[in-house]
Homo-oligomer: A and B are copies of this chain.
Amino acid sequence: MPRPSTADERRRLLLPTIAQAFARTGYNRATTAELAGACGVPENTLFRLWGGKKGMYLAALDHLYERTVDGWARYLAAPAAGPDAASAASRLLAYEGEHYGEHGLYRIIFTGLDEIDDPDIKKALRAMYRRFHAFLTERIAEHRGEEPAAARTALLAWAVIGMATVAGIGRELRLVTRQQQRELFGEVGRALLDLHETP
């Protein structure tokens, strides 16, 4: 038997660095040479591990999403403070008001939106948004005490995603302060969760 491959292990090891590089520079400006440099490996290695730049991007996107979701799961698993424990949805809003953007997930998404005519990238983004939206919809339905999620709940989930997105853009452009981000998630986001029919 030949020498066993450590490829999986290496992928796991290098992915955070690659994701960070993509998030920092964007898809196009991140050259494969730079990625390799950041990882401290020869360019060749990256191509062997992911087949091409697009493969690296797709892996990085997936990595950042998983990382974000894991962060939520850990946060929600921790016992809520006190008996007046808020719903998972509103706890997540508070959490993201504080931490949104730390992983650079939104940055890597924007960079993908520019490549959206590539079918593979479009598919990956679509899958990610779909999962994200489904997750949020469930949390919001729980919060509102709805059993099967109503159509309106799905709309609210989109609105919350939009709010997060604009927070990312706004902070990037220095038009939204960190305090405003907190208020956006905290006040407006919270209000969205409890939105009823307008009279």
Contacts and interface: CB of A to CB of B under 8 A. Distances in A.
A94 interface: no
Binding site of A, secondary structure by majority: helix, strand, loop or mixed? helix
A175 B110 contact: no
- Interface residues of A toward B: which range? 35 or more
A15 B198 CA distance: 42
Most buried by B among A113, A129, A155, A161: A113
Contacts of A169: 113, 129, 165
A37 interface: no
A159 B194 CA distance: 15
A187 B155 contact: yes
A175 B127 CA distance: 10
Contacts of A156: 188
5 contacts: A26-B115, A111-B114, A159-B159, A163-B163, A188-B195
